[in-house]
Amino acid sequence: MPTVAVAPVPAHAQSLPPGLPVIRDAEIEQLLRDYTQPILRAAGLAQQKVQVIIINDRAFNAFVMDGRHIFINAGALIDAKVPNEVIGVLAHETGHMAGGHLLRLRQQMAQAQVAAVIAMILGVGGAIAAGRNAGGNPAAAVLGPQETIRRTLLSYQRAQEEQADRAGVKFLAATDQSAKGMYETFRRLSDQILFAAHGADPYMQSHPMPAERVAALETLARSSPNWDKKDPAELQLRHDMMRAKLSGFLDRADTVARRYPSTDTSLPARYARAIATYRHADLRNALVQIDGLIQAQPNNPYFHELKGQALLEGGKPAEAIAPLHQAIKLAPQPALIQVLLAQALNAAHGGKSADEAIAVLRTALAHEPESVDGYVQLAMAYGHKGDLAQADLASATAAFMRGDQSTARQIAARAKTRFPIGSPGWVKADDLIGSKPANSRH
């Protein structure tokens, strides 16, 4: 379900570790796309369809694992006070992608593994010789080369981090944005780990030591003519709304009340309080607050989405349909909201709205082909309609998306018996029976 829905990554999802607690939300994902696209164009990666994945973790962290995804923790989004700080982090991670660091690191690790085997063989030979010598140290003979290899690999990783910093500053300059947020972020992080890093061996670190990194980054960042450039006010408001939304959904009610007290009448504060109110079962009061938000910004699709979700989860699915329709009309990329609308249609009218739910879901799944919720709702809609073949096929697909291969094959086998042999549905069901989890494919 959209609007800050937290769910594990489907086990089939390409390049993503299964079970990762991912946050899906149309509003936040649109903002992160707007943050990222200029950077990706400057890096020459606009055609790679890079997605920013939000992890439900309060630590300040971001990382890349492949050439298609940038992962950023919810904690980083909540803690960043200005858009430029998040954009700077995204620019740094884009630097890793543009530099091909992941592929090179894997190659370096593979070479290190080969070198480690050779070192071990040579070390064993040295240990035998040392064993013949009463004063020899067999352990040192074996471990010495391996320690050298490890330090070499860590040195390579530190060099990659420095290169990503430089590339990130370059991309920010190319898009007429300040690198101050990037510098401030890493400076703040360096302060947090300064105590932990005190006395550490700089040659045993995978990242540059804090003082070195911050000093080098400051020199680079201050050289840009955009150093003092501020984020546009409209973008700052969207950023503040994102932080408020995450807090409203993820924090306890008393935490939200402290962070956004009733004396704060700003739109983000009202947003956070409305979300927290509906989450804690005060639907009537929440709807009053949400209607106030809609009155302030009638064309904000995500206020209408919030109203629809609050009504749906409050046991009023029929009343949720109208605001969700409005949200879909206004949202630039409404696939997640369309799945929510289909859920409301299924819950409110069953078979009477089955055709509409199916049409909405087909549109949504064209943009979100890995949506487990989408296929679950599609199965329900076909079931309401009495089309058991398509219902089974959608259920089997949902099970496959969840990584439940046994259930997927069982239901797909039943679906095959309901379709004419050789029909498109029969072929899809047959494919599911023979499919392997994406994580096992090469």
Give the closest residue to 104 by CA, choosing from 57, 42, 36, 163.
163
214 burial via Cβ count (<10 Å: 0-12, 13-18, 19+)? buried
pLDDT value at residue 52: 95
Calpha distance 294→121 (Å, rounded): 71
DSSP code of residue 61? -
Tell me the two tokens of residue 203. 């040659």
431 Cβ contact partners less than 8 Å away, ≥ 6 residues apart: none
pTM of the full structure: 0.81
**CB-based contacts of 274-277 (< 8 A; 24+ apart in sequence):** 274/248, 274/306, 275/244, 275/245, 275/248, 275/249, 275/306, 276/248, 276/251
The C-alpha atoms of residue 56 and residue 8 are separated, in whole angstroms, by: 10
Residue appearing with tokens 């109208």: 322
Which pLDDT belongs to residue 144? 52
pLDDT recorded at residue 62:
87
N residues, the chain: 442
Question: What pLDDT is stored for residue 413 in this prediction?
Answer: 97
Helix axes 267-279, 283-296, angle to 10 degrees: 150
pLDDT of residue 434: 87
Q: Strand, helix or coil at 351?
A: helix
Q: State how far the Cα of 159 lies from the Cα of 349, in Å rounded to an integer.
A: 59
Confidence (pLDDT) at 113:
46
Measured distance CA(400)–CA(377) in Å, rounded: 15
Kind plus residue range of the DSSP H or E element containing 52: strand 51-55
Residue ranges, the chain, pLDDT below 50: 1-2, 6-15, 101, 104-130, 132, 134, 138-143, 149, 152-153, 155-156, 194-206, 209, 438-442
Give the list of residues 6+ apart from residue 136 with CB closer than 8 angstroms, or none. 127, 129, 130
